[in-house]
Amino acid sequence: MMDSTALPCIPCSFWQGFPLTASLLILWLPSTVAQLTIESVPPISAEGDNVLLFVHNLPENVQAFSWYTGVMALKSREIARYEIATNSRTLGTAHSGRATVFNNGSLLIKNVTRKDSGYYILQTLDTHLRSEITRVEFFVHAPIFGFKKHATPSKPTVELVPPMVAEEDNVLFLVRNLPEKLQGFAWHKGVLPLDHFKIASHAILINSSMLAHKYYGRATIYTNGSLLLQNVTQKDTGIYTLRTISADLRSEWAIMHLQVNSK
């Protein structure tokens, strides 16, 4: 289930303070059928914006669906449920008063705050009572210290080279301003530093890199922080996060959205 190879705990402190435990990750089941996709519009936004989690290809035999925050369909994390036949909405306990579900599956979240950043899942139930789960994520940055405007000496920035990417291209997440005196850094797919979504990490003190299994042969992490992804597919579309950890355990991050276009 875990993609990462277990390297002898790259400075163990590296992952301390990161909120989710392995047991939670093991319970998480990825969706296998991928016709239904969800796009966050925009994928990266500022506080106060509205974000639409846009559902493409909601199957016709879906009779009900629920939106949840997080990576699992927990009742306590339910935002809202929609029954298509009766056109009825039921708000869940995780409803913030700012979210609206539409009959086509999409979810609109108004006036987002940084705390809204993270994963959301849509669970659909079809007429044979089969359930599917699809995940989406978005990131909200503070309006003033936006990720583009913020350029203090200690804050890394990421740039895509080339800026426009199509299937089968190679893309470099070019990092500038990598802070000094680091213990290490890691790249994750998505906005949260969950082990399951780790792509690669590098421990500077022992000059050792590790790569998650599913990126073997097509990702390269460089000691300057940059990440090369080769031969990308549309499944690589999404948010990528670089997190650095300094010798005194301070963490910085930089995010980038990769859109892989069809050829």
Ligand X SMILES: *[C@@H]1O[C@H](CO)[C@@H](O)[C@H](O)[C@H]1NC(C)=O
Residue 112, C-beta contacts closer than 8 angstroms, at least 6 positions apart = 45, 47, 48, 49, 50, 51, 98, 138, 140
Is 113 a binder of ligand X (CB under 6 A)?
Answer: yes
Interface stretch with ligand X, choices 146-154, 189-197, 226-234, 254-262 (CB under 6 A): 226-234
187 φ/ψ angles, rounded to the nearest 5 degrees: -110, 135
| Nearest distance, CB of residue 31 and ligand X, angstroms | 18
Is 244 a binder of ligand X (CB under 6 A)?
Answer: no
Whether a cis peptide bond, with omega within 30° of 0, leads into 42 is yes
Copy the structure tokens of residue 148. 């583009």
Binding pattern to ligand X, positions 137-176, x when CB under 6 A? -------------------------------x---x-x-x
| Nearest distance, CB of residue 140 and ligand X, angstroms | 11
Nearer to ligand X, 82 or 253 (CB): 82
d(CA 70, CA 25): 11
User: Site for ligand X (CB under 6 A): which residue of 83, 102, 166, 210?
Assistant: 102
Nearer to ligand X, 71 or 178 (CB): 178
Q: What are the Cα distances from residue 7, in Å, to 208, 209, 222, 224?
A: 10, 9, 18, 21
Q: How many residues does the chain have?
A: 263
| Nearest distance, CB of residue 18 and ligand X, angstroms | 25
Map the footprint of ligand X across residues 31-60, applying CB under 6 A: 48, 54-56
Is 91 a binder of ligand X (CB under 6 A)?
Answer: no
Interface stretch with ligand X, choices 10-18, 69-77, 82-90, 102-110 (CB under 6 A): 102-110
150 φ/ψ angles, rounded to the nearest 5 degrees: -75, 115
User: Site for ligand X (CB under 6 A): which residue of 15, 18, 28, 222?
Assistant: 222
Copy the structure tokens of residue 51. 């974000």
Q: What are the Cα distances from residue 199, in Å, to 34, 186, 216?
A: 21, 8, 9
**Cα of 261 vs its chain's centroid, Å:** 19
Map the footprint of ligand X across residues 188-217, applying CB under 6 A: 207
Nearer to ligand X, 30 or 48 (CB): 48
| Nearest distance, CB of residue 243 and ligand X, angstroms | 17
CA nearest to 199, candidates 185, 183, 188, 210:
188
CA nearest to 212, candidates 204, 226, 202, 224:
202
| Nearest distance, CB of residue 26 and ligand X, angstroms | 28
DSSP type of residue 178:
P
User: Site for ligand X (CB under 6 A): which residue of 35, 93, 154, 224?
Assistant: 224
- Binding residues vs ligand X (CB under 6 A): 48, 54-56, 102, 104, 106, 111, 113, 168, 172, 174, 176, 207, 222, 224, 226, 231, 233
